[in-house]
Amino acid sequence: MLAKRKMKSNELADIVGITTANLSILKTGKAKAIRFSTLEAICEALDCQPADILEYVEA
Identify which of residues 24 and 52 has a Cβ nearer to other proteins in the complex: 24
Identify which of residues 6 and 33 has a Cβ nearer to other proteins in the complex: 33
Give, in order, the Cα–Cα distances in Å from 41 to each of 9, 34, 57, 58, 59. Answer: 14, 11, 23, 27, 28
Identify which of residues 6 and 57 has a Cβ nearer to other proteins in the complex: 57
* Site of interaction with other proteins (CB under 8 A): 18, 22-23, 25-26, 30-35, 38
CA proximity to 1, closest of 45, 57, 58: 45
Q: Over the Cα atoms of the chain, what is R_g?
A: 11
Smallest gap from Cβ 35 to other proteins, in A, equals 6
